[in-house]
Amino acid sequence: MDIGKVGMWFFLDAMSAPQSAEFAQKVEKAGYKTLWIPEAIGREPFAHAAYLLTKTDRLNIATGIANIWARDAITMSAASKTVAELSGNRFMLGIGVSHKPLVSNLRGHNYDKPYSFMKEYLPKMKAALYGAPKPSEEVPVVLAALHPKMLALAASEANGTHTYFVPPEHTAKARAAIGPKPMICAAQAVILETDAAKARAAARLYMKTYVPRLPNYTNNLKALGWGDAEFENGCSDRLVDAIVAWGTEEKIRDRIDAHLKAGATHVCILPIRADNALLPDLRVVEAFGGR
């Protein structure tokens, strides 16, 4: 599967289904090869992926990330094979352990050993019985991974990793950890806005969902050397600028290239709008396609 060097990643739940299909068509027309869709508390990602694939001709759809606590390994395997077969191998499966608030608090599962759960889940998924016609190619699988143990698992038991909420320094660290062959698909939030106050305000609104609410991201950044003070009062300007690339097209392109130079196989960009609307910035979609 050729997913391209630059893809698109966005929450589409603020759109109606036809609007989400129209967006996918715009992403495809702009020259992107892959659109990533998440799973949280909105649409079921496999059903939505199948719908978007019927509305596009060449675009790959990837889950970024399907929650392994939401379905057992047999169901995850069957869902991925079904969507891949229906779409002619235009589906990539990204899976992850999600976060304690979404797993324990919302779903009622035990989140005490997420790494062990994933380690046991992957062989079950690979060995799952499947009685329908299989896709003609194996479905590529990437793991949401930030820390060394999960990165090692992504390299040994999957096709690589999908990293999120990370600066290029983490991409370099991940590449050093997993070696040259596995994929690193790094997500990068971007805001096409040169006014620092407006851009950082929008960036902080985006970031407050993740830090300090979700410890996985906070702990990962601390492991990269960010101190406690950087997370106070909506995060420091320095941390905001490290996580969200904002400014001119050139500055955003420089950040994308920094991930690629650090070892990313693919960078999926989140086109956040500076006016805080829950819709993608179509200027960004048009500006960075075709790579």
Helix (H, G, I), strand (E, B) or coil at 229: helix
Do the domain assignments include residue 118?
Answer: yes
Is 44 part of any domain?
yes
- pLDDT tens for 87-98 read 999 999 999 997
1 in a structural domain: no
270: helix, strand or coil: strand
- Here the CATH number for the domain that contains residue 119 is 3.20.20.30
- The count of structural domains within the chain is 1
For residue 111, the model assigns a pLDDT of: 78
Neighbours of 68 (CB within 10 A): 23
Position of tokens 């609410």?
213
- Answer whether residue 169 is part of any domain: yes
Closest listed residue to residue 174, CA positions, set 110, 259, 232? 259
Q: What is the pLDDT of residues 204-236, one digit of tens each?
A: 999 999 998 888 999 999 999 999 999 999 999
- 136 found inside a domain: yes
The pLDDT of residue 265 is above 80: yes
Domain coverage including residue 12: 6-287
- Pairwise CA distance, residues 149 & 170, whole Å: 14
pTM comes to 0.96
Contact assessment for residue 87 and residue 35, using Cβ atoms and an 8 Å cutoff: no
pLDDT at 112: 84
Per the domain annotation, does 62 fall within a domain? yes
| pLDDT tier, 102 (very low <50, low <70, confident <90, very high otherwise) | confident
Does residue 43 fall inside a structural domain? yes
Give the pairing of strands 160-163 and 141-144.
Answer: parallel
Residue 193 · residue 246 · CB < 8 Å:
yes
Q: How far apart are CA 63 and CA 40, in angstroms?
A: 11
27 touches 35 (CB < 8 A):
yes
